[in-house]
Chain A
Amino acid sequence: MIELFEKAVPVLFEGFWITLRIGLLAILFASLLGLGAALMRTSTRRLVAGLAFAYSTVFRGTPLLIQLFLLYYGIGTLDFVHDQPALWWLFSDGARCAILAIALNSGAYMSEAIRGGLQSVPNGQIDAALSCGMSRLQVFRRIRFPLAIRQAFPAYSNELVLAIKGTSLASTIAVMELTGFARRLMSQSYLIVETFIIAGLLYLAINVTLLGCAWLVERGLRIQARD
């Protein structure tokens, strides 16, 4: 048992940090994408709203694994991707592809959560702010965004867990993160349940910490609302 921990724990911890890095970067980009797509969805221009709808439908309707394989194995075969150094930098590296795929996938789900929040802001409040003489940007910063994010935050925080779980797929394109190392330990040794428990606890730790932070933010938002 002690031997197991000496062997498995350092290896899994190595993967843990990579999982954490991929997950947090993906969540950052996904949040920006989700907010952008949600704003596009509420646009009065048909084309803009339609594009955002198509994005969220396609990325929510297909498995993340296929999106990841399309980006990593598919896009990488295109000639112009080889010729563009910036594109090649992005698509030649497994970890970068994984961050991109999870961000695109998770962003699609987040855009639905944030859209719900944006639509819950009463039109009268926006009209009132506009008639006070605020610019569109000011209305967004002071009225629409704060009100929308309060409404959308619980649904948004669910997506954080899903994004972290999505990072496990990076192991399928040869990125050695937590699940990748766990898989290797499971198939090399007979320590299957033990490896699962340690890796599972590490995932649990990330998710519980994230949800704890989300809970703090949610509480903070409510206190602000009372002022």
Chain B
Amino acid sequence: MISSLHDILSAGWGTLLLRGAGMTVFISLCGICLGMAIGIAGAALKAGGGWLARGAIGLYTLIVRSVPELLIIYLLFFGTVQPAADLADWLNWDDLMSTVFPVLVGILAIGLISGSYSVEVFRGAFKAIDPGQIEAARAIGMDRRQCLWRITLPQLLWYALPGANNVWQNALKDTALISLVGLVELMRAAVLGAAATRAPLTLYLLAGILYFLIGVCSQGMFVWAERHFGRGMQGAAR
């Protein structure tokens, strides 16, 4: 086991795994940014939109949350692969098809999936802000934009942090599924390495450890962020 580990790392599979881990973090970060945007817009529409917008958001969250992530990824991939190939062919960008296309599908999939959970996270955070604070801000002469930037958003983000942490951890793990439509991230790197070295146990264990480390590091960052951005809040709560 130890000697095979040394062989595997010296054959360059370690670097591929690390590069895959970088891709995993990149896809998760882009995906969750898209998801956050969907979440904030969805929460705002659910709070203040008409019945049509509320119904559409409700339907979107119901479907995405109860259908397996893998099936959603297959829909996005198989649904767009033909038009994307035609477009790449027309623009003479055939080489981009195998590299950029899976990345875009991955970001879109993670964004749509994490977005459906973010809607509830931000809806809860919106509700947690005392309306009196916004009235007070307006009363001392802030306009709507100042009120949004100085009062609503900073508190909204702090209230949303614990929920966003859960969404992030799930997004990180969901990226493993994008490997099944050809994106070379951490999981796919492990699959390739397992096939080439015939040591699947070692490769998957290494990949598992890397996923775990990314998760633990980001967990630490969320703990720090909650403490840092909540300084004023905790004082007020006491």
Name A's B-contacting residues (CB within 8 A).
58, 61-67, 69-70, 73-75, 77-78, 161, 164-169, 171-172, 179, 182-183, 186-187, 190, 192-193, 196, 199-200, 203-204, 207-208
Contact = CB atoms under 8 A, between A and B. Distances in A.
A202 to B, nearest CB: 10
Contact of A70 (B66, B74, B204): B204
Contacts of A190: 82
**Most-contacted residue by chain A among B75, B174, B191, B216 (CB, 10 A):** B75
Contacts of A61: 169, 211-212, 215-216
Interface residues on B, range: 35 or more
Contacts, number: 110
B204 A73 contact: yes
Contacts of B199: 77
A196 B212 contact: no
Contacts of A66: 176, 187, 190, 204, 207-208, 211
B79 A70 contact: no
B65 A161 contact: yes
B173 interface: yes
B71 A200 contact: yes
A69 B71 contact: no
A168 B180 CA distance: 12
A190 to B, nearest CB: 8
Nearest to B207: A66
Given A69-B191, A77-B200, A165-B68, A62 B75 contact: no
A166 B69 CA distance: 9
A75 B212 CA distance: 20
Interface of B: 62-63, 65-71, 74-75, 78-79, 82, 169, 173-177, 179-180, 187, 190-191, 194, 198-201, 204-205, 207-208, 211-212, 215-216
A65 B187 contact: yes
A171 B70 contact: yes
Q: Is the interface of B mostly helix, strand, loop or mixed?
A: helix
A78 B177 CA distance: 26
A64 B75 CA distance: 20
Nearest to B24: A63
A162 B211 CA distance: 20
Contact of B66 (A166, A172, A203): A203
Contacts of B67: 165, 199-200, 203-204
Contact of B176 (A63, A165, A196, A204): A63
Contacts of B180: 65, 172
Contact of B204 (A74, A165, A179): A74
A203 B75 CA distance: 15
A89 B223 CA distance: 44
A46 to B, nearest CB: 21
Given A65-B176, A70-B201, A75-B201, A196 B191 contact: no
Nearest to A200: B67
B71 A182 contact: yes
Given A65-B187, A66-B190, 6 more contacts: A62-B208, A65-B180, A66-B208, A165-B67, A168-B71, A172-B70
